[in-house]
Amino acid sequence: MTTARVRAHRRLQAFRVVVLTVLGLFFLVPLGSMAAYSVRVPAGGRTLDFWRQLGQDPDLRGAIVTSLELSLLTVVLMLVLLVPTMVWVRLRVPGMSRIVEFLCLLPLTIPAIVLVVGLKGVYAWVTYFLGDSSLTLTFAYVVLVLPYAYRSIDAGLASIDVVTLSEAARGLGAGWFTVITRIIVPNIGAALLSAAFISVALVLGEFTLASLLSYTNLQVVINLLGKSDSQTSVAASLASLVFAFVLLILLSLVGRRRGARRTAPALDLMAPPVAKEG
Amino acid sequence: MIATSTGAREGLEVRLEDLRRRFGTVTALDGLSLTLAPGELVALLGPSGCGKTTALRIVAGLDEPDSGRVVVGDRDVTDVSANKRDMGMVFQAYSLFPHMTAQQNVEFGLKLRGHDSTRRRARAGEVLDLVGLSSQKDKYAGQMSGGQQQRVALARALAIEPSVLLLDEPLSALDAKVRAQLRDEIRRVQLEVGTTTLFVTHDQEEALAIADRVGVMSQGRLEQLDAPEALYSRPGSAFVASFVGLMNRVPCEVQGGRATLLGTSVTTLDGSVHGGRGVALVRPEQVQVAAGGDDATVVHISFLGSFSRVTARLVEGTELIVQTPSATVQDLRIGDRVGLSLLADDLLVSATTD
Amino acid sequence: MSRGVRRLVPVLGLVPFLGYLTIFLLIPTVSVVVGAFVEKDRASLSNIRALGDEVVLRTLWRSIELSAESAIIGAVLGALLAYAVVTGRPDGTLRRSVTSACGVLAQFGGVTLAFAFIATLGFSGVVTEAGRDVLGVDLFGSGWLFGLKGLTLVYTYFQIPLMVIVFLPSLDGMRSQWREAAESLGASTWQFWRYVAGPLLLPAFLGSTLLLFANAFAAYATAAALVSQGSPILPLLIRNALTSEIVLGQSHLAFALALDMIVVVVVVMTMYALLLRRTSRWLR
Ligand SMILES: Nc1ncnc2c1ncn2[C@@H]1O[C@H](COP(=O)(O)OP(=O)(O)OP(=O)(O)O)[C@@H](O)[C@H]1O
Ligand SMILES: [Mg+2]
């Protein structure tokens, strides 16, 4: 007996299978193609030469190192700037929390290409004071990762009682520095970790600021390489992609383990979850 | 008069015949049969997970039985889809369409039936009046209290003049006071419109207060279907007895259709064990307590206003709860020896094992 | 210390943060706005006037077209995917893996994404060659991948996952009681979608589409890596204005173009916020 309800159920299942298969292919085929493309030999057969090239090409190696250094510096500066500020706001100046939140989420609505136009002038001064090392990009990258880092840390702080914890510690004679480093930070470890992960993933994929401010990082070099040696550049793309995927998947695991995350950030009006591409 | 304008009409008979439904390994309904007389309100009562919701959803057409039939009037509706069944349904909570006002919610079913807007507005006005909410008709669900929302849900279900009204724990999300008030209101409205109604609840007080007859379910089956007083005073099984109201379990000796306990011999009800040892099921108000006897020791006394509950321990250790007018226990103290006597003529005696 | 000073101390704790953001976020943003009204170190409207130039207008229009197309395609397909996911088990593996994958893929853009599609559908891409060898069809054509059509396709790759992320909570907010109540009141499936689900989801759907629009409109890296010649869209025209000294006779055109982008994004995001405020009231 096939009743209307059974038929409707079957229709729904068929719809789901079709949607998931078609879109699954759409997402997997480019990734598979990259892998195939990076090991292809024009005459036929396969080779890992282009992958070996990743470790050998001096430009590429230099760029990988630069990007890793940039990620590290960005994470450190972001944490140093954001954690004390956010804790301080919660403890002493809660009236400023809306303003801090607004500033932190502002970069989401300002396209990177717009920011770069305004940053040109600022970077003239940065170069004047600090030289023209690519590592100075750190300053701009902290701004780029700010919204994402802010959300993670905010969720972390919301899940502990900052005020009570620090009052207890202060009562025992701890200074502010001790409160932040010994009491707060250990309690929001997972949040800091996820803030760091997303920052690293974003910095490794960043192209707009680096290329238009005339610095080199991994993506800039990959892009250049694409003109001369497309197979190595695709291998490098895939490698950086896999690395970022792993980071972001670790991130989602950290997020899940934390359990009591604040719900539905996607419906947060102040914080449209715009994805930042490169 | 409201009653005439809302078209109180003859209710229809509703028959659930041997319904069975399994979910994987769980048997939700295990041969449920139940007949509702025209215009009757039957409350389905039972512990959580016994299949009440499943039964109701099958009647509504929102779920299908593996076997069995649902018959309304003389029409077999088992294979009729929910939107053609013409049944009004009220859910536990949150069922109002949040983007429509109370009035629009009530008009929705009429709109689907192609009624023009004048007629819809008039009818919605009538039913909102009936549930006492005409002043709130332009509010959205988010702007109303839980009780008001449930009234609108009831009005919405009634607006289409359904042949059957189905309510699934419509009051369980409300607080105690609103619950009692709305319960009486639902009963009043139901009597006024005369629609055959199935009311699911796990609250026995609610079931006894509102229903013409109460069906007690257990593990997908109907244990007993009876008028509230009958269910209370003559439970058909130990399960029903202990599920409905407070019940003492007193060990006794059964012989030849009579049980002996507390020094009294009483007739056993149908369904009792036939001989040997058993457990008599005794209501707290079926026992009388008297100072100066030697049957039991007072362990606890709780004062409940005009009544008090005395907990007394029998010599062999069984504890018994006795409900009695507060005036009779004024002089009792914990530790006093008291005499107990049975006021019942007949009791249900179940086997000692269950 | 006087009372007033002491009350200021807590606020002083924010000075490093505020100072940093002033230099690296506020000054750049303000300088874009101000710079749009400067030419050759003097106040001037010539850059703003240049926005009315036919080349700029056509580029702006193409940008809007690209963003709208990729937003609509992404929104429709993303909504279908989100629906396929929510109709499964809420704690099932499918749902978890799809949402995780979407979280990752929505971030996937820029050079690597461009190269992924070059490796797939470029002149010697894997799929292009397979098409040539196996089916005998030329998928590469005249290089459509490197034009607006190609950009639309490539953008869809991060738009669909983004749609899933932003639209899923709204679908989750739909209660089964609404469907069942509608059904028992006599609604057919079509009527349920027409009168209940549709109106309830529409604001969230439109809002999400606007968000996707802003996302595509702001995207630069993917297009920069894919399109090396010409400036078919606004971000690439800004690149052009930044790298060559004078464009359309203006030295500060990049500022005016950037202002143009800010205006569009702010308008779109405001509409987004308004629409979302409406649904969040219903779908709690
Ligand atoms: N859709 C379903 N899928 C799987 N199992 C179900 C489903 N619906 C009900 N069940 C199971 O069937 C049994 C009966 O469920 P039902 O909802 O009818 O109980 P109930 O009497 O209404 O309980 P409650 O008082 O808690 O509402 C339960 O064990 C339940 O877990
Ligand atoms: Mg139930």
Q: Is the pLDDT of residue A273 over 70?
A: no
Domain count, chain A: 1
Domain count, chain C: 1
Nearest CB to A278 within list C81, C106, C111: C111
Chains contacting B (3+ CB pairs below 8 angstroms): A, C
Ligand 1: atom nearest CA of B55 is 18
Q: How far apart are CA B281 and CA C145, in angstroms?
A: 83
* Chain C residues with beta carbon closer than 8 angstroms to that of A233: 115
When mean pLDDT is compared over B11-15, C136-140, C241-245, C280-284, the highest value belongs to B11-15
Which residue lies with its CA nearest to atom 31 of ligand 1? B49
Q: Is the pLDDT of residue A126 over 80?
A: yes
Decide: residue C174, CB within 10 A, 0-12 exposed, 13-18 middle, 19+ buried: middle
Average pLDDT of span A178-183? 85
Within-domain flag for B7: no
Within-domain flag for C90: yes
Pocket test for ligand 1, best of B26, B64, B203, B219 (most atoms within 8 A of CB): B26
Within-domain flag for A269: no
Within-domain flag for A196: yes
Average pLDDT of span B128-152? 90
pLDDT-derived band at B7 (thresholds 50, 70, 90) equals very low
Which residue lies with its CA nearest to atom 20 of ligand 1? B49
Within-domain flag for A210: yes
Within-domain flag for B264: yes
* Chain C residues with beta carbon closer than 8 angstroms to that of A238: 112, 116
Q: How far apart are CA B271 and CA B350, in angstroms?
A: 8
Q: Centre a 10 Å sphere on the Cβ of residue A175 and count the other Cβ atoms it contains.
A: 9
What tens digit of pLDDT does each residue of B151-210 get?
999 999 999 999 899 999 999 888 888 888 889 989 998 998 899 999 999 888 899 999
Average pLDDT of span A85-105? 90
Whether A5 and B81 lie within 8 Å, measured CB to CB: yes
Within-domain flag for C260: yes
> A264 is written with which tokens?
């539905």
Within-domain flag for A123: yes
Whose tokens are 């500020």? That residue is A85
Pocket test for ligand 1, best of B19, B22, B53 (most atoms within 8 A of CB): B53
Which residue lies with its CA nearest to atom 5 of ligand 1? B23
Average pLDDT of span B13-23? 95
What tens digit of pLDDT does each residue of B58-73 get?
999 999 999 999 999 9
Within-domain flag for C9: no
Domain count, chain B: 2
pLDDT of residue A227: 86
Which B positions 151-170 lie with beta carbon below 8 A of chain C?
153, 156-157, 160, 166
User: Are B259 and B226 found together in one domain?
Assistant: no
* Chain B residues with beta carbon closer than 8 angstroms to that of C191: 112
pLDDT of residue B119: 94
Within-domain flag for C212: yes
From ligand 1's centre to the CA of C176, what distance in Å? 15
User: Are B148 and B230 found together in one domain?
Assistant: yes
Q: Is the pLDDT of residue C31 over 70?
A: yes
pLDDT-derived band at C187 (thresholds 50, 70, 90) equals very high
Instruction: Tell me the CATH number at B275.
Output: 2.40.50.100
> B136 is written with which tokens?
């709130």
* Chain C residues with beta carbon closer than 8 angstroms to that of A19: 80-81, 83-84
**Domain range spanning residue A249?**
56-255
Q: Is the pLDDT of residue A270 over 50?
A: no
Ligand 1: atom nearest CA of B50 is 21
User: Are B332 and B194 found together in one domain?
Assistant: no
Within-domain flag for C13: no
Tell me what percent of chain B is helix, strand and coil, each rounded to the nearest 5. Answer: 30, 35, 35
Average pLDDT of span C107-124? 89
pLDDT of residue A267: 31
pLDDT of residue A52: 87
User: Are B178 and B315 found together in one domain?
Assistant: no
Q: How far apart are CA C253 and CA C245, in angstroms?
A: 10
Which C positions 92-121 lie with beta carbon below 8 A of chain B?
none
Is the distance from the beta carbon of residue B54 to the nearest atom of ligand 1 less than 6 Å?
A: yes
Within-domain flag for B295: yes
**Domain range spanning residue C96?**
43-282
Instruction: Tell me the CATH number at B115.
Output: 3.40.50.300
- Domain end residue (candidates: B189, B214, B238): B238
Within-domain flag for C247: yes
Instruction: Tell me the CATH number at C212.
Output: 1.10.3720.10
For residue B52, which of B203, B153, B238 has the smallest C-alpha distance? B203
Within-domain flag for B1: no
Q: Which residue of C has its CA nearest to B167?
A: C181
Q: How far apart are CA B143 and CA B231, in angstroms?
A: 41
Average pLDDT of span B78-93? 90
Nearest CB to A121 within list C31, C88, C258: C31
pLDDT of residue A257: 55
**Domain range spanning residue B45?**
14-238
Q: How far apart are CA B54 and CA B104, in angstroms?
A: 29
Selected residue of B21, B57, B58, B64 to mutate for chain A interface (largest A Cβ count, 10 A): B64
Task: Give pTM, 2 decimals.
Answer: 0.83
Within-domain flag for A66: yes
User: Are B207 and B287 found together in one domain?
Assistant: no
Instruction: Tell me the CATH number at A165.
Output: 1.10.3720.10
Q: Is the pLDDT of residue A255 over 80?
A: no
Report the range of poorest mean pLDDT among A45-49, B104-108, B212-216.
A45-49
Whose tokens are 């539905």? That residue is A264
- Domain end residue (candidates: B191, B212, B238): B238
pLDDT of residue B354: 54
Contact B36, B20 (CB under 8 A): no
Report the range of poorest mean pLDDT among A78-82, A271-275, B202-206, C97-101.
A271-275
Percent of chain C with pLDDT over 90: 54
Q: Is the pLDDT of residue A264 over 60?
A: no
For residue C122, which of C102, C145, C105, C94 has the smallest C-alpha distance? C145
> A220 is written with which tokens?
């800039």
User: Are B151 and B253 found together in one domain?
Assistant: no
For residue B110, which of B125, B102, B120 has the smallest C-alpha distance? B120
Q: How many contacts (CB atoms, under 8 Å) link A and C?
A: 272
What tens digit of pLDDT does each residue of C64-76 get?
999 999 999 999 9
User: Are B234 and B267 found together in one domain?
Assistant: no
Is the distance from the beta carbon of residue B44 to the nearest atom of ligand 1 less than 6 Å?
A: no
Average pLDDT of span A138-157? 93
- Domain end residue (candidates: B238, B272, B291): B238
Contact B94, C177 (CB under 8 A): yes
Q: Quote the mean pLDDT of chain A.
A: 85
Average pLDDT of span A119-130? 92
Whether C181 and B97 lie within 8 Å, measured CB to CB: yes
pLDDT of residue B254: 87
DSSP string, chain C: --HHHHHHHHHHTTHHHHHHHIIIIIHHHHHHHHHTTEETTEE-SHHHHHTTSHHHHHHHHHHHHHHHHHHHHHHHHHHHHHHHHHTS-TTSHHHHHHHHHHHHHTT--SHHHHHHHHHHHSTT-HHHHHIIIII---SSTTTGGGSHHHHHHHHHHHHHHHHHHHHHHHHHTS-HHHHHHHHHTT--HHHHIIIIIHHHHHHHHHHHHHHHHHHHHH--HHHHHH--SS--SHHHHHHHHHHSS-BTTBSSHHHHHHHHHHHHHHHHHHHHHHHHHHHHHH--
- Phi, psi torsion values for B39, nearest 5 degrees: 75, 5
